[in-house]
Amino acid sequence: MPKPLWAPWRLEYVQHADELGRCIFCEPEPELLVHDGELALLVLNKFPYSSGHLLVAPKRHLGEFGALSPDEALEIHRLAARGIEALQSHYAPDGFNVGWNLGRAAGAGIEDHVHMHVVPRWNGDTSFMPVLGDVKVLPEALERTAERLRLRF
C-alpha cells in the first residue's frame, strides 16, 4: 500500500493563495527561478512538500490544462525531465512524484495558472516533524537549492 505524502502546513497557503495579489508564475521570485525557458519556466516551490520541490508552468497565464498548446506541453514536460535530472544529480532522491493538481478539490493552491509538480522523495523519509509539531524540516535554504539546480540549466 502506498504511503501518503502529508503536508499539513500547506493548508494555510492553499486557503489564502488567491490573496497573494500576483501570480507566482507570471512574476516569479528571482531567487526561486531555476530556469526561464521560451514557453515555460521552472521554479522552486516556496511551500514545498519536500526539499527540491519544483513547479513547471507555461509562461502564458492559463487556468485550463486543455488550453496548453502542444509546444507548451512539450516544453513543460522537457523542463520537468531536466529538473528530475538536476535533482537526481545533486540530491540523489530514491524516487519522484510528478503530476498536475487541477482544481481546488485536487489540491491546486493556484487554480488560475496550471503547473506541474516535480517532488523528490527519499526512502525512509517519514517526515515526522509535520505530524508532531506542524513543522517541516528542509535541510537546505531554498535559495541555495535554486543556485545548485541552475547549474544544470
In which band, very low, low, confident or very high, does the pLDDT at 131 lie, cut at 50, 70 and 90?
very low
pLDDT surpasses 60 at 7: no
The model's pLDDT over 67-90, given as tens digits with 9 standing for 90+, comes to 999 999 999 999 999 999 999 999
For the domain spanning 10-150, the CATH number is: 3.30.428.10
CA 75 to chain centre: 16
Q: What integer is the mean pLDDT of 93-116?
A: 90
What residues have CB less than 8 Å from 37, skipping those under 6 apart?
59, 75, 79
What residues have CB less than 8 Å from 16, skipping those under 6 apart?
none
The model's pLDDT over 10-29, given as tens digits with 9 standing for 90+, comes to 565 555 555 556 898 999 99
pLDDT surpasses 60 at 50: yes
Q: What are the structural domain ranges in the chain?
A: 10-150
Look up 35 and say whether it is catalytic: no
Please tell me which residue in 35, 53, 113, 115 is annotated as part of the active site. Answer: 115
Query: In whole angstroms, how far apart are CA 143 and each of 28, 91, 97?
Result: 13, 15, 22
